[in-house]
């Protein structure tokens, strides 16, 4: 059975996030994303579906978002001011009858995250409960992109859209709409680790993507692919 975290545990959570951020910085990562989604620790505080606490970390919206904001503050302390800090949220608990955490809650949280120094909110969805609807078919993708657009428009914070983005054309259409700031890809990059290069090729922007340096001698020229394709294979 899960046990309720003590106040000492909770102080430790913020410290663990800030020491992880320090290690990421030392290791040379150029962006840090805080994971506040998918049923993990911080979302379990955010969502009224899981948060059953009766102290100042449970109950009201203000209390449920307290841990997330404390973590952001602790992490900001160890990062240079302009170091890109993202946070992934589940925009909606995705439960029947609109129960649980809602898109409106996400908009308000995103405003607070921005005020606390988060530069971009990565808008995912669900996974707090087994009762949630299945995700990431085609229509779910459209819903999820719309949620990212809503959070960007209403909270005035940059957002990233994720979920079911597979073709370069769809990715580009989302970006050209200007409704979100960037897109994330998951499964398609497992299938094709060079998806960004292939997408750039498809969108006639091959020069915009640099392949890893170690491959330049063989496929570093922007036209290597065109040459092969034009020659008929």
Binding site for ligand FMN (CB under 6 A): 35, 38, 88, 124, 136, 162-165, 185-188
- Alpha-carbon distance 105 to 118, whole Å? 17
| Phi, psi of 133, rounded to the nearest 5 degrees | -65, 155
Q: Which is nearer to ligand FMN, 100 or 164 (CB)?
A: 164
Q: Are 67 and 35 in contact (CB under 8 A)?
A: no
- Alpha-carbon distance 207 to 111, whole Å? 36
Q: Are 87 and 72 in contact (CB under 8 A)?
A: yes
Q: Which is nearer to ligand FMN, 1 or 190 (CB)?
A: 190
Closest distance of CB 138 from ligand FMN, Å: 10
Q: Which is nearer to ligand FMN, 136 or 219 (CB)?
A: 136
Q: Which is nearer to ligand FMN, 38 or 114 (CB)?
A: 38
Q: Which two tokens stand for residue 73?
A: 């503050």
Closest distance of CB 217 from ligand FMN, Å: 31
Closest distance of CB 127 from ligand FMN, Å: 9
Closest distance of CB 136 from ligand FMN, Å: 5
Task: Report which residue's Cβ sits closest to ligand FMN.
Answer: 186
Closest distance of CB 221 from ligand FMN, Å: 29
Q: Which two tokens stand for residue 175?
A: 């970006």
Q: Which is nearer to ligand FMN, 12 or 186 (CB)?
A: 186
Of the chain, the end-to-end C-alpha distance in Å amounts to: 59
Strand pairing partners for 34? 87
Whole-number CA gyration radius for the chain: 20
């Amino acid at each position: 059975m899960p046990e309720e975290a003590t106040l000492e545990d909770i102080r430790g959570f913020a410290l663990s996030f800030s020491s992880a951020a320090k290690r990421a910085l030392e290791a040379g990562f150029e962006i840090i994303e805080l994971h506040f989604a998918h049923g993990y620790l911080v979302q379990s505080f955010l969502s009224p579906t899981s948060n059953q606490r009766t102290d100042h970390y449970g109950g009201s919206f203000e209390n449920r978002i307290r841990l997330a904001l404390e973590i952001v503050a602790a992490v900001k302390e160890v990062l240079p001011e302009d170091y890109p800090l993202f946070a992934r949220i589940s925009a909606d608990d995705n439960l029947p009858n609109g129960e649980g955490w809602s898109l409106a809650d996400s908009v308000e949280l995103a405003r607070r995250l921005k005020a606390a120094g988060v530069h971009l909110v990565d808008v995912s969805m669900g996974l707090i409960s087994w009762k949630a609807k299945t995700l990431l078919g085609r229509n779910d993708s459209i819903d999820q992109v719309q949620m990212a657009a809503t959070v960007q428009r209403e909270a005035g914070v940059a957002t990233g859209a994720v979920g079911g983005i597979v073709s370069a054309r769809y990715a580009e259409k989302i970006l050209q709409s200007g409704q979100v700031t960037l897109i994330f890809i998951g499964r398609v990059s497992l299938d094709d680790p060079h998806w960004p290069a292939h997408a750039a090729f498809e969108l006639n922007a091959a020069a915009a993507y640099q392949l890893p340096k170690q491959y330049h001698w063989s496929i570093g020229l922007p036209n290597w692919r065109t040459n092969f394709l034009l020659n008929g294979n």
